[in-house]
Amino acid sequence: QAVEAGEYAVPQLLDVIVSGRNPELEIRVTSVIEEIKRQAVLPLCAALPEVSPSVQVKVCRMLSNIGWPTAIPTLLDVASTRGTTPEVKNAAMTAFRRLGGTSTDVSAAYTALAKRFFDEEQSLVAYPEDPANMVWSYGPHSGLVQTPVATSVFCQVMAMRSAKAALIADSSNRTALAVFVAADLRRENQIGANESDPFADDAKYSPQFFATAAGSSTARAVLAMAVDSKDTALVRDAIEALGMTVERGRMVTSGGRRPLLECLRYPDRRVQYDTALVLSAAMPDMAFAGDNQVVPLLANAIRATNDSYAAVVASTEEDRNSLTSKLSRLGFSVIASGPSFYDLEGEINRANGIDLVLVQGDSSSAVEAVGQVRNFARTGATPVLLVNSGADKIAMDREFASDRGTASFINGGTEAQFESAVDALMNVAAGGRLTEAESMTYTRNALQTLATIARSGKGVYSVTDAESSLLAGMSTITGGMRLLVAEVISLIDTEASQQALLDAALAAGGNEQVALLDYASANARAFGNKAEDRQIDALRRLIASSTGDGNARTADAAGRLYGSLDLSPDETVRLIAD
């Protein structure tokens, strides 16, 4: 029974060994702990530094016999601690070597374990399918104490604890610092709405504080870890931290890995937009790999909408139509569907990003489809929802346990359950769906950044690379945002830009017309008259019709434009004479 109870039996069993009152029972208890195997390791590691030397020797022997390498850092730490008795040190190092330990760098050992937890190796989790797992501690009076932590963040909590131990051993360990920051950010991203993390409640500072306070080198290392693990939410967090900490001149410096530049090609449009905004704010003077992608991405961000795009893989047309209908009801536009993901790659390449791939099929076809999705450049980090039978779901959950971007849903569930599954996957894999507020923020930030580039007139970026998108925006964007578009266009020295401003101004009315007339004036003053005859004729008609007190602002703005175009003063003389 004790063996079946797994790690939950260890506190009571260890109490027998700590008390030392019954040597015969202690032998049997030791055998049971060793039979529990890997699930006994984390509780024993929590107890090892705190128990008496005689018990420490026994715990070291148990860890040695269990043979699970998770114990290596704790064994090495205890052996290296000042005050450890020779007997304990010998037992700890014997177990250390038996478990495969070689390097005697305590900080490096804890860092390696922290990285394994960060990578969410399932062998480190006692009960991966339970809603909670236990973090263990040991008190002199309480003995082993278990603290339940939501399984969704258990590995990240343990990664932070291991990284903290590494930093205590060596405060200059920058890799451990990066793992701590990355795990802290990921923990915040992954915890469910109704889940709890008791350790987060005790935190003195937010994850964002450590992400920025740790400096730009750490943020860059966190970004590299995020890119490698295709953790879109973490990638965005790290880009934000980089934008707040790195010196402008060092944003694209050469030498070593440059994960920020890799993000220009990351398969998520928000990541690409975030990257372009950070790189454009740096205004580098020197060319760098991918510099020609920055302004076009800003141009795409101008047209960013909260539309969500999906692709559907299912063997029959009936299934594809059914899944397409489900997605449509959730607000997704299905841009491609077919019996194989390979059939969809062309459509996906032509699309402006893809937010979700839905795959229906048995376990073998699902594994094949996910492999194809992950190996395709445009969808390497795209969330994938597998729609399968109840029996296949168990196998799929196990198959993709370490892939946060893949989840499964039992075919036949309700619409509400399907929506909940999609939302949960999107939240974990991509930080949620693009909202209307986010899309408006991207549009505004992109326009403000393009205006800065245009006014600068130097560096590696050219605002004319965004001209076609800006001109299209004049026809599709409305309200105050349209005037931001006009402001940027007024800074571009081309006939198309000035003529587009004139057309927009002449067709508008009220306050918007006054503002657009002034933006056209600004363009003409800066770059000269590029107007067509038809536009000048229309401007004359506007001036002629804008008499009286109620039209004074429009007339004044039209007059400023007329003068800025450096047209003949004959019209002005005629107006005076009339």
The tens digit of pLDDT for each residue in 47-63 reads: 999 999 999 999 999 99
In 3D space, the residue among 420, 477, 418, 411 whose CA is nearest the CA of residue 444 turns out to be 477
Helix (H) or strand (E) holding 371: helix 363-375
Q: How far is CA 3 from CA 25, 32, 33, 34, in A?
A: 16, 6, 7, 9
Tell me the mean pLDDT in the region 494-508.
96
- The model's pLDDT over 405-452, given as tens digits with 9 standing for 90+, comes to 899 998 888 899 999 999 989 988 888 888 889 889 999 999 999 999
Query: What pLDDT does 578 receive?
Result: 65
Only one residue has tokens 């000269």, namely 528
Tell me the mean pLDDT in the region 28-55.
96
Structure tokens at 77: 């730490």
pLDDT-based confidence at residue 12 (cuts at 50, 70, 90): very high
Residue 213 has pLDDT above 70, yes or no: yes
Residue 576 has pLDDT above 80, yes or no: no
Radius of gyration of the chain (CA): 32
Residue 304 has pLDDT above 80, yes or no: no
Q: Which stretch, 54-68, 304-318, 388-402, 545-559, has highest mean pLDDT? A: 54-68
- Does the pTM surpass 0.85? The reply is yes
Query: What pLDDT does 59 receive?
Result: 97
pLDDT-based confidence at residue 513 (cuts at 50, 70, 90): very high
Tell me the mean pLDDT in the region 143-164.
96
DSSP summary character for residue 435:
P
Q: Considering the chain, what percentage of its residues have pLDDT values greater than 90?
A: 70
pLDDT-based confidence at residue 247 (cuts at 50, 70, 90): confident
Structure tokens at 559: 């007059």
Residue 93 has pLDDT above 80, yes or no: yes
Residue 249 has pLDDT above 80, yes or no: no
**For residues 311 and 354, is the Cβ–Cβ distance under 8 A?**
yes
In 3D space, the residue among 18, 15, 13 whose CA is nearest the CA of residue 30 turns out to be 13
Query: What pLDDT does 435 receive?
Result: 86
Query: What pLDDT does 283 receive?
Result: 85
Q: Which stretch, 253-257, 409-413, 552-556, has highest mean pLDDT? A: 552-556
Q: How far is CA 546 from CA 346, 566, 576, in A?
A: 54, 20, 14
Q: Are strands 308-313 and 143-150 parallel, antiparallel or unpaired?
A: unpaired
Tell me the mean pLDDT in the region 127-154.
93
> For residue 1, how far is the Cα from the chain centroid?
44
In 3D space, the residue among 248, 243, 247, 259 whose CA is nearest the CA of residue 284 turns out to be 248
What does pLDDT average to over the chain? 91
Amino acid at 577: A
pLDDT-based confidence at residue 396 (cuts at 50, 70, 90): confident
Please enumerate in sequence order all residues whose Cβ is within 8 A of that of 375, keeping only pairs 6 or more positions apart, or say none: none
Name 147's bridge partners. Answer: 135
Tell me the mean pLDDT in the region 96-113.
96
In the sheet with 356-360, reading across from the earlier edge strand, the strands are 332-338, 308-313, 356-360, 384-388, 406-410
* Rounded CA separation 377/375 (Å): 6
Residue 1 has pLDDT above 90, yes or no: no
